[in-house]
Amino acid sequence: MPALSSRSQVAAFMAMDVLREANALEAKGRRVFHLETGQPGTPAPRAALEAVRAALDRDPLGYTEALGRVPLKEAIARHYGDAYGLNIDPARVVVTTGSSSGFILSFLAVFDAGQKLVMGLPGYPAYRNTASALNLEPLLVPAGPQTGFRLPLDTLAAIEGAHGMLIASPGNPTGTILPPEDLAAIANLSDKKGWHLISDEIYHGLSYEQPAKTILSYAPDAIVVNSFSKFYSMTGWRIGWLIVPQTMVRTIERLAQNLFISPPAISQVAATAALSAQAQSELNGHVEVYRRNRDVLAAALKHGGVARTAPATGAFYIYADVSLHCRDSAELAPLLLAETGIAATPGWDFDPQNGGSWLRLSYAGAATEVAAAAEILAPWLARRSPR
Ligand SMILES: Cc1ncc(COP(=O)(O)O)c(C=O)c1O
């Protein structure tokens, strides 16, 4: 067989590999605690499910416009007024097949092959791997414990030859929210450098102290990537959105027409209803469950001898330093799964430089599951802790 492309040689998404192994174990009858992926334990909001049931009988659910249905784009634009006090023209909203296709569309729209894209480490693996598959060069800037899991502005300022920058707040795997002054400084720096600024805001709505700010309040021409997967509890519906500058809309539309034709119609029906006031109050209730889950899991890690975690102020992950418990989290995670049924993701997924010291645990699941996992996790870790 002829050789496969070199750009397809991207790293696996380890969290998804762990999910496959955990599912296989579960299929054999083993009790498994799914702390490996950011999968909410709740279904889509009731209003979304009702809207879908009604649509099945009366809506042909065929192709939609490539940029999405107008009522959904209008509802997303209104959300920017309600959540951030911003006036966004619905014409700047692009409905996508999950945020994952939003990254492909935005990378293709603004970068040529070979160009450099700055991003922080640790970070969501698909940023690097999608960029590499599109022949872009990820420029990885350490933003770990040394900088309080914030991007070091002096390092960013010294970068030459990049074409854009990708930020995420709250971040994955850290769950850390960047303070407004960092967003303002990044916007300012990016403007001075002439970079395209892309902000992944998929964990907005999931914050436990201050609500996260959108980069659009500081950089009106930034590209925002967002999704119904996390706060809206709709991962499998594969529906997300972009906010792009007016001047970029037609470019994105041409790409979207050719690459995806349209986002799924049924998911657009669900997403429109998920933005209703009724759904919002249901979804806000989930945030309180996540907060309690976070506290339970953080206490278990502490009892287990974990001395350091990233500030878990948003999203639904704890990024824990397990260097006292193992030589390498890639060895610890399979052992943890085999001995306790707890699935978690080695830090290598998020950080190809220092990932061996870290483990990411998701607390997005049901409170009973997270509590049961925490009870098993604390003594298991404590047995491995030297203290
Ligand atoms: C930071 C971040 N961005 C994007 C995604 C992809 O989400 P979607 O389901 O919208 O494609 C994820 C999924 O876990 C994520 O954690």
Q: Is the pLDDT of residue 13 over 90?
A: no
- Residue 192 alpha carbon to ligand 1 centre in Å: 29
Angle at 368 between CA 380 and CA 206, to 5 degrees: 100
| Atom 13 of ligand 1: nearest residue by CA position | 38
Residue with more model confidence, 12 or 61? 61
| Atom 7 of ligand 1: nearest residue by CA position | 99
Q: In residues, how long is the chain?
A: 387
Separation CA 377–CA 387 (nearest Å): 16
Which DSSP string do the residues of 300-338 spell out, in sequence order?
Answer: HHHHTT---B----BTTEEEEE-TTT-S-HHHHHHHHHH
- Residue 103 alpha carbon to ligand 1 centre in Å: 10
Question: pLDDT tens digits for 222-241?
Answer: 999 999 999 999 999 999 99
- Residue 100 alpha carbon to ligand 1 centre in Å: 6
- What number does the ligand 1 atom closest to the CA of 203 have? 1
- What number does the ligand 1 atom closest to the CA of 235 have? 9
Question: pLDDT tens digits for 115-163?
Answer: 999 999 999 999 999 999 999 999 999 999 999 999 999 999 999 999 9
- Residue 135 alpha carbon to ligand 1 centre in Å: 21
- Residue 313 alpha carbon to ligand 1 centre in Å: 18
**CA neighbor of 114 nearest in space, from 271, 7, 244, 261:** 7
Which band of pLDDT confidence, cut at 50, 70 and 90, is reported for residue 10?
confident
Q: What pLDDT score was predicted for residue 198?
A: 98
- Residue 303 alpha carbon to ligand 1 centre in Å: 30
Separation CA 310–CA 371 (nearest Å): 20
**CA neighbor of 218 nearest in space, from 188, 260, 258, 248:** 188
**CA neighbor of 65 nearest in space, from 31, 106, 98, 96:** 96
- Residue 3 alpha carbon to ligand 1 centre in Å: 31
| Atom 14 of ligand 1: nearest residue by CA position | 38
Query: In Å, how far are 101, 114, 132, 210, 312 from 107, measured between CA atoms?
Result: 10, 12, 11, 30, 29
Question: pLDDT tens digits for 354-376?
Answer: 999 999 999 999 999 999 999 99
- What number does the ligand 1 atom closest to the CA of 228 have? 10
Q: What pLDDT score was predicted for residue 386?
A: 73
- Residue 341 alpha carbon to ligand 1 centre in Å: 25
- Residue 172 alpha carbon to ligand 1 centre in Å: 9
Q: What pLDDT score was predicted for residue 63?
A: 98
Question: pLDDT tens digits for 160-174?
Answer: 999 999 999 999 999
Question: pLDDT tens digits for 191-209?
Answer: 999 999 999 999 999 999 9
- Residue 294 alpha carbon to ligand 1 centre in Å: 19
Q: Is the pLDDT of residue 387 over 60?
A: no
Question: pLDDT tens digits for 298-351?
Answer: 999 999 999 899 999 999 999 999 999 999 999 999 999 999 999 999 999 999
Q: What pLDDT score was predicted for residue 351?
A: 96
Round the average pLDDT of the chain to a whole number and report it.
96
Q: Is the pLDDT of residue 16 over 90?
A: no
Q: What pLDDT score was predicted for residue 12?
A: 81
- Ligand 1, from 124, 169, 228: best to mutate by most atoms within 8 Å of Cβ? 124
- Ligand 1, from 227, 234, 349: best to mutate by most atoms within 8 Å of Cβ? 227
Q: Is the pLDDT of residue 102 over 60?
A: yes
Burial 188-202 (b: 16+ CB within 10 A, else e): ebbeebebbbbbbbb
Which band of pLDDT confidence, cut at 50, 70 and 90, is reported for residue 56?
very high
- What number does the ligand 1 atom closest to the CA of 315 have? 16
Separation CA 120–CA 198 (nearest Å): 13
- Residue 202 alpha carbon to ligand 1 centre in Å: 7
- Ligand 1, from 230, 237, 363: best to mutate by most atoms within 8 Å of Cβ? 230
- Ligand 1, from 14, 19, 101, 172: best to mutate by most atoms within 8 Å of Cβ? 172
Q: What pLDDT score was predicted for residue 50?
A: 98
Which band of pLDDT confidence, cut at 50, 70 and 90, is reported for residue 17?
confident
User: Which residues surround ligand 1 with Cβ inside 6 Å?
Assistant: 38, 98-100, 124, 168, 172, 200, 202, 227, 229, 235, 240
